[in-house]
Amino acid sequence: MLKLITSSFTVLLSFIAFVQGKFHNDTQVAVYWGQASEGEPQNKLSYYCESESLDIVVLAFVSEFGKNYANLKEYEGLDDDDQYKAMHGDKQDDDDSFILNLSSYCSFSNVADSYKCPSLVQDIKTCQKLGKKVLISFGGEYVPGTKQTYGFTDEEEGERFAGVLWNTFGEGNVDGSQRPFDDAVIDGFDIDIENEDQVGYVSMIRELDRLAKEKGTKRYYFSSAPQCNFPDKSNSELIDNFELDYVFVQFYNNDCELNKDDVFNFEEWSDHITELGYDKTQIFVGLPSSLEAAAMGFISDQSLVVSKINEIENNENLSKHFGGLMFWDASKGYHSDDRDSPDKSYIFNVWSKLTSEGNSDADQSVLDGNSTTEGLRGGFGSPAEDSGATQDTSSNGSKPSPHFNTSNSGSDRSRSGGVALFDTNRIPEVLTGVTFVLIAFVFYC
């Protein structure tokens, strides 16, 4: 009997280690989409969601908002007041005005007095059926010294604007006509402020969170995309006063990039999230997805990306808040015709090396009889090979919105692409329960 118990205990420990290794290596990938950085027409949203390598897609951007900043007339390039009024009525004087810029996928409908994005309605639903989360981002690139295009005058305006967003993109007015995505409902809201004006965003997100919890029928996710310089001058108040689900830190176009060992400051961000007492917040390492996607910070040597992620995953303190990789953007990072080709798609290449090598190590560890958790944490194996590109230092843009397009024409998943059977965040409590059952069984016997 004792031999049977011992054998059973060993098998269970191996299984626990295997499960932890599998899920710990399941590095998430978030990608921004919408700015047609490779030119028009950009591939459909669903084209990218159909890739196993993508978990979260962020629609970019609601680029102008706030009663002092959203200027539809100027944005549309309409000099004639009568022409503008014929197209938009009195919307410019409406405090709820905003500009939705998803390149040619959306246009303003005078009849509906709203933006309409017909093809995105089904695409968003397709992404969600595939288990991908669809967020919408607010803000984008701001060039110092230029006109400010988004912001709030006070906290009350931010709180009130949350109601507009809930009715427009959430579940507040699903049957209403003033919805760009009709009855398709997004999964969350991303705040990508870059103009160092932080007024109103904490109130906005808190109100959105309240509406989601009181009136929503599903979980909503909230994120921010700060620059890696700490503390970020545009998003720190939001990060410090609201427990976000994701923090997409931009480790590029700054002096704290991933490929600079002495200044790469993921640890500083992780320590700060820990000090705030946040449990659910996940930090993503944000990277450009091609040489042209950012002015600086692109890493052609994929072995360096794998090595850095491996270091984070193998560090008990850092791995607690590590969520995965964020890329700007989809058009640059995936090949337009051969999306899942490791040779042609940078994002797919990095993801495939991380996941395949990580799972291979987890499998081998169990086969070798190594049942310790430490032996499985983040085992990504050998680094990837250099793709051969070099970093361009010219200033041809940055994420968010490195190639900001000013034209305006007109639940969790498994790596198999299906929906996960349960929330992976509950793995620790499930394993704890199984352990207690095993101990009770041993004492009973």
Give the Cβ contact number of residue 364 at 10 Å. Answer: 15
Q: Is the peptide bond before 400 cis (omega within 30 degrees of 0)?
A: yes
411: its two tokens: 């639940």
Q: Is the peptide bond before 380 cis (omega within 30 degrees of 0)?
A: no
Tracing tokens 């449990």 back to the chain, one arrives at: 279
User: Which has the closest alpha carbon to 398: 294, 284, 250?
Assistant: 294
Give the Cβ contact number of residue 54 at 10 Å. Answer: 27
φ, ψ for residue 324, nearest 5 deg: 150, -150
Question: Under a CB-based contact definition with an 8 Å cutoff, are residues 392 and 344 in contact?
Answer: no
Tracing tokens 């560890």 back to the chain, one arrives at: 365
Active-site option among 194, 207, 257, 313:
194
CA distance 272 to 278: 9
The DSSP letter of residue 301 is B
Chain Cα centroid distance, residue 344: 22
Question: Under a CB-based contact definition with an 8 Å cutoff, are residues 385 and 301 in contact?
Answer: no
φ, ψ for residue 327, nearest 5 deg: -125, 135
Tracing tokens 């054998």 back to the chain, one arrives at: 7
CA distance 346 to 400: 18
Helix (H, G, I), strand (E, B), or coil: what is residue 265?
coil
Question: Under a CB-based contact definition with an 8 Å cutoff, are residues 27 and 380 in contact?
Answer: no
CA distance 300 to 328: 15
For the question of residue 237 being annotated catalytic, the response is no
Question: Under a CB-based contact definition with an 8 Å cutoff, are residues 349 and 325 in contact?
Answer: no
CA distance 187 to 139: 18
Q: Could you give the residue numbers annotated as active site?
A: 194
